[in-house]
C-alpha cells in the first residue's frame, strides 16, 4: 500500500472497462513477449517504466490503476471467478496473500526466488515474507524501509541535526513546537492510522509487537497500554499535525508547517512531486528506538508485491516480467524513476540521500527489520484497529476503550485461526 491520489470516478470506470476488454481472451498463451495486462492500486508511473521493460525484455505494460482500495480488491477477486484473471496485479504480503494462496489463485514463483536469492539479487529475509507453507508466491516491485523524512531547512534554521536517539528526537520536537511548527505528521485516519502505534510499540518492545500479530499477546496488555500513553503524552504536548487535515503531508512540509514525516522509502517519489528535492530540501534518518536496550534498532519494512494469477491467460508473460523486475538492471531503472532505495544490492540508488541511507541500514548488527503493521496484522483485526486508532487520534484520551475494541475482534479471530 502506498499513497494514492484520488482519481475521478469516471477514470476508474474506464480503467476497469479497459481491463475487462483487454483480458477477455480465455486462451492460455505461452508467449513471453508482447503486452502484459497489469492491474494495480499504485500512483506510480508504470507507463514510463513500460518503455524500459520493452527495451530490455520486449514486454510492455498495459496498466489499469485503481485509486479506491475496496474497488480494486473487489475487481481483482471478481476476476478470479472468470477467465479474465490479470497477467499481473499488485497485492499485499501477510494475511492477504495467504488468503489467495489458500484458494490456489496465485502462481507459484519459487523457482524465481531460488535463482534470485542464489544470485544475491535479494535478501533471504525478504523471501520469507513471500513464503506460504514452504513455497513462494509473487515477487517484489519494491522493498521499502520506514525512515523519518525531515525538513533540512527548518532543522538548520533552529540549529537542529538529525537525531540518533529517541531523547534527541523529542528534544527537537520541543524546539519545533515552541516555534509554531508541527514536529510530526499525524497519520490521520485509514489507511495510515497504524503508523505511530507501529513506531512506538516496536521501538519499545519488538517481541510484544510480533506477539500481537500472532495472537500470543493482548492489546489490553499493560505494556501495550503504557505505549499508548506515550502516544497520548505526545498528543497532549502538541507534537502532531492536525489529524483531520486534508492537506498532504509533503505540502505541509513545503509550506514550512511540518518538520518530520515517517514513511517508507517509496515516499521519495511523492515528496518530489511538490518540488522538494533530496539533499537540499529534505533528508532521512532511521527512526530511533524508544528502548535502546533491545539491542538492534527496529526498522519496519513493507514490500509491494506483483502477483500473477494462477489461471491467467498471460501467466508465462507475467512470470517473465516478475523475474526481470528483481534484476539489478530493472531495480536501478526503477530507483531512477521513483528516486527510492532499490532492494537489489547490485542495483544503484538514484540519489545520494538513499545511497547513504542504504549504507547506514546495511551496517552489520545495528538494525532489525520487522513487517509493517498493515501486513503483519490479520485483515479483520487490522480493519478494527484502524478505526480505533483513528478514534484515538481525533479524540485523544484514555486508550483503554480503544484497545478493548481491537481485542474484542482479535479474540473472536484467534479462537478459530490458531
Residues 315 and 291 in one domain: no
Kindly report, residue by residue over 238-295, the tens digit of the pLDDT.
999 999 999 999 999 999 999 999 999 999 989 999 999 999 999 999 999 999 999 9
pLDDT by residue (tens digit) across 59-99?
Answer: 999 999 998 888 898 888 888 877 678 899 999 998 889 98
The pLDDT confidence band at residue 27, using thresholds 50, 70 and 90, is low
Residue 275 lies in a domain: yes
Q: Are residues 224 and 346 in the same domain?
A: no
∠ Cα 313 20 142 (to 5°): 70
What pLDDT, in 10s, does the model give residues 2-23?
A: 433 333 333 333 344 344 434 4
pLDDT, residue 6, reads 33
pLDDT band at residue 125 using 50, 70 and 90 as cut-offs: confident
Tell me, yes or no, whether 96 and 159 share the same domain.
no
pLDDT band for 43, please (50, 70, 90 cuts). confident
3 in a domain, yes or no? Answer: no
pLDDT (average), residues 377-390? 95
Report pLDDT digits (tens) over 213-236.
Answer: 999 999 999 999 999 999 999 999
Between 25 and 63, residue with greater pLDDT: 63
Cα–Cα distance measured from residue 160 to residue 154, given in angstroms and rounded to the nearest whole number: 8
- Residue 233 shares a structural domain with residue 320: no
Do 156 and 39 sit in the same domain of this protein?
A: no
H helices present in 287-369, as ranges? 315-324, 328-338, 352-361
Q: Are residues 154 and 219 both part of a single domain? A: yes
d(CA 205, CA 224): 9
Taking the C-alpha atoms of residue 42 and residue 33, their distance in angstroms, rounded to an integer, is 24
Give the span between the Cα atoms of 144 and 109, in whole angstroms. Answer: 21
Question: Does residue 2 form part of some domain?
Answer: no
Statement to judge: residues 64 and 117 lie in one domain: yes
The range of the structural domain enclosing residue 231 comes to 145-300+371-417
Q: Please report which confidence band the pLDDT of residue 28 belongs to, taking 50, 70 and 90 as the band edges.
A: low
Mean per-residue pLDDT for 331-347?
A: 91
Sign of CA dihedral 320, 325, 326, 332: positive
- The predicted structure's pLDDT at residue 18: 40
Determine, yes or no, domain membership for 220.
Answer: yes
Q: For residue 29, what pLDDT is reported?
A: 65
**How large is the average pLDDT for residues 340-350?**
91
Same domain, 391 and 296: yes
Identify whether residues 153 and 262 lie together within a single domain.
Answer: yes
The structure's pTM equals 0.84
Report percent pLDDT > 90 for the chain.
Answer: 79
Residue 316 burial (10 A CB sphere; 0-12, 13-18, 19+): middle
Pick from 317, 337, 362: which residue ends a domain? 362
The strand pair at 258-264 and 182-184 is best described as parallel
Q: What's the pLDDT score for residue 95? A: 86
Domain boundary among 324, 345, 362: 362
Domain CATH for 240: 3.40.190.10
Residue 1 within a domain: no
Mean pLDDT to the nearest integer, 31-36: 89
Give the integer Cα–Cα distance in Å for 40 and 157: 41
Can you name the residues that pair with 351 across neighbouring β-strands? none
For residue 398, CA distances in Å to 188, 231, 386, 406 come to: 18, 11, 17, 14
* 3 state DSSP class of 143: strand
Give the C-alpha separation, 23 to 37, whole Å: 7
Q: Give residue 25's pLDDT.
A: 40
The answer to whether residue 218 is domain-embedded is: yes
Q: Which among 315, 340, 362 is the end of a domain?
A: 362
Average pLDDT over residues 308-328: 95
Cis? peptide before 103, omega within 30° of 0: no
Question: Computed over its alpha carbons, how large is the radius of gyration of the chain?
Answer: 21
179 in any annotated domain: yes
User: At 200, is the pLDDT very low, low, confident or very high (cuts 50, 70, 90)?
Assistant: very high
- Examine the domain organization and report whether 54 and 114 are in the same domain: yes
Does the residue 402 lie in any domain?
yes
| Residue 309 DSSP symbol | B
Question: What is the chain's mean pLDDT, rounded?
Answer: 90
187 and 315 fall within a common domain: no
For residues 61 and 83, membership in a common domain is answered with yes
Total domains in the chain come to 2
What pLDDT band is residue 31 in, cutting at 50, 70 and 90? confident
Amino acid at each position: 500500500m502506498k499513497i494514492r491520489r484520488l482519481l475521478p470516478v469516471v477514470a476508474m470506470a474506464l480503467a476497469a472497462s479497459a481491463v475487462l476488454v483487454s483480458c477477455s481472451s480465455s486462451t492460455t498463451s505461452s508467449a513471453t513477449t508482447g503486452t502484459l495486462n497489469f492491474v494495480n492500486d499504485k500512483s506510480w508511473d508504470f507507463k514510463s517504466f513500460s518503455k524500459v521493460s520493452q527495451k530490455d525484455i520486449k514486454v510492455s505494460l498495459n496498466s489499469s490503476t485503481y485509486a479506491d482500495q475496496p474497488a480494486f480488491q473487489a475487481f481483482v477477486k471478481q476476476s478470479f471467478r472468470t477467465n479474465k484473471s490479470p497477467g499481473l496485479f499488485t497485492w499485499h504480503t501477510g494475511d492477504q496473500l495467504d488468503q489467495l494462496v489458500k484458494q490456489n489463485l496465485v502462481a507459484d514463483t519459487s523457482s524465481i526466488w531460488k535463482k534470485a536469492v542464489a544470485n544475491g539479487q535479494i535478501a533471504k529475509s525478504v523471501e520469507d515474507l513471500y513464503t506460504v507453507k514452504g513455497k513462494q508466491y509473487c515477487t517484489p516491485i519494491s522493498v521499502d524501509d520506514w525512515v523519518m523524512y525531515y525538513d533540512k531547512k527548518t532543522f538548520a534554521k533552529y540549529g537542529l541535526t538529525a537525531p540518533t536517539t529517541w531523547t534527541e528526537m523529542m528534544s527537537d520536537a520541543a524546539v519545533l513546537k515552541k516555534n509554531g511548527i508541527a514536529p510530526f505528521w499525524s497519520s490521520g485516519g485509514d489507511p495510515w492510522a497504524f503508523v505511530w502505534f507501529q513506531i512506538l510499540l516496536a521501538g519499545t518492545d519488538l517481541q510484544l509487537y510480533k506477539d500481537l500479530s500472532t495472537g500470543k499477546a493482548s492489546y489490553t496488555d499493560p505494556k501495550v497500554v503504557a505505549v499508548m500513553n506515550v502516544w497520548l503524552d505526545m498528543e497532549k504536548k502538541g507534537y502532531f499535525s492536525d489529524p483531520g487535515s486534508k492537506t498532504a503531508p509533503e505540502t505541509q512540509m513545503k509550506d514550512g508547517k511540518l518538520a518530520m514525516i515517517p514513511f517508507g522509502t517509496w515516499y521519495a517519489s511523492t515528496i518530489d512531486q511538490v518540488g522538494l528535492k533530496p539533499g537540499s530540501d529534505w533528508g532521512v534518518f532511521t527512526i530511533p528506538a524508544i528502548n535502546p536496550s533491545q539491542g538492534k534498532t527496529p526498522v519496519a519494512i513493507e514490500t509491494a508485491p506483483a502477483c500473477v494469477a494462477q489461471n491467467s491467460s498471460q501467466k508465462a508473460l507475467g512470470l517473465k516480467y516478475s523475474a526481470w523486475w528483481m534484476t539489478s538492471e530493472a531495480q536501478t531503472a526503477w530507483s531512477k524513476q521513483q528516486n527510492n532505495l532499490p532492494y537489489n544490492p547490485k542495483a544503484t540508488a538514484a540519489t545520494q540521500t538513499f545511497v547513504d541511507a542504504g549504507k547506514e541500514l546495511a551496517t552489520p548488527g545495528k538494525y532489525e527489520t520487522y513487517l509493517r503493521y498493515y501486513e503483519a496484522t490479520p485483515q479483520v483485526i487490522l480493519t478494527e484497529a484502524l478505526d480505533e486508532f483513528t478514534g484515538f487520534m481525533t479524540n485523544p484520551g484514555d486508550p483503554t476503550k480503544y484497545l478493548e475494541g481491537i481485542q474484542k475482534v482479535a479474540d473472536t479471530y484467534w479462537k478459530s485461526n490458531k
